[in-house]
A = this chain, B = another copy of it.
Amino acid sequence: MNEPRRRGRPVELDLERVAHVALDMFRDQGYDAVTMEDIARVVGHSRRTIFRHFPAKASLVWAGTDGFADSLKAELARTDPSLPAMDAVRTAYVAATRIPPELHEVTRQRLLLIGDNHTLHSDGVARFADVGAAIRRTFIDRDGLDPDGLDAAIVGDTLVLVAHQAFIWWARHGEGEPGPVLEAAFDRVAEGFRRR
């Protein structure tokens, strides 16, 4: 993956490596203490190059969640269209967040950072707005929820937050796959959102 540096040819930025290095630095020195400059120095690229790919420090931690709304939509499309919205979302969310075992550790590390830092958590709210919107849409389409009603205003972002908290809990206390934790968390709030 890391080709030797050749003169006159710009060295490609290994995004995964940069994110890994940043994560280690955040864990060892604290998220707030590490600057983009520090990271650039350690990975041997200019601050500008890093910024081109990671527009903010938070992006280094949230890396890997880009495109999650699309994955969730794809998984939703794969579910039986007659399933009520709550069941479809539960099934699709678990499928879309499946992590290969070799990535459990790095995912856990990311989640621990987010769980311990309000700024990082806040940053996720805007990042996951599309995910909340996709869930809301599923309830409107499948269960006939009134788009202007109170339920439609609550369901999307609430389920996103519940899933987020399930993942943070898994990072802190869970063993094995996060899927069962996610299902248990959804089940806490599911009753009120089931088709009536």
**Chain copies in complex:** 2
B residues in contact with A68, CB < 8 Å = none
Bitwise, A145-167 to B at CB < 8 A (1) or not (0) is 00010110110011001100110
Residues of A within 8 A of B (CB): 118-119, 121-123, 125-126, 129, 148, 150-151, 153-154, 157-158, 161-162, 165-166, 168-169, 172-173, 181, 184-185, 187-193
Q: Are A166 and B154 in contact (CB under 8 A)?
A: yes
Cα A151 to Cα B162 in complex, Å, equals 10
Q: Is the CB of B181 within 8 A of A187?
A: no
Provide a sorted-by-A list of 14 A–B residue pairs whose CB atoms are within 8 angstroms. A121-B126, A122-B122, A122-B123, A122-B125, A122-B126, A148-B173, A153-B165, A154-B185, A158-B162, A158-B165, A161-B161, A191-B191, A191-B192, A192-B192
- A125-B125, A154-B166 as given contacts; A188 in contact with B192, CB under 8 Å: yes
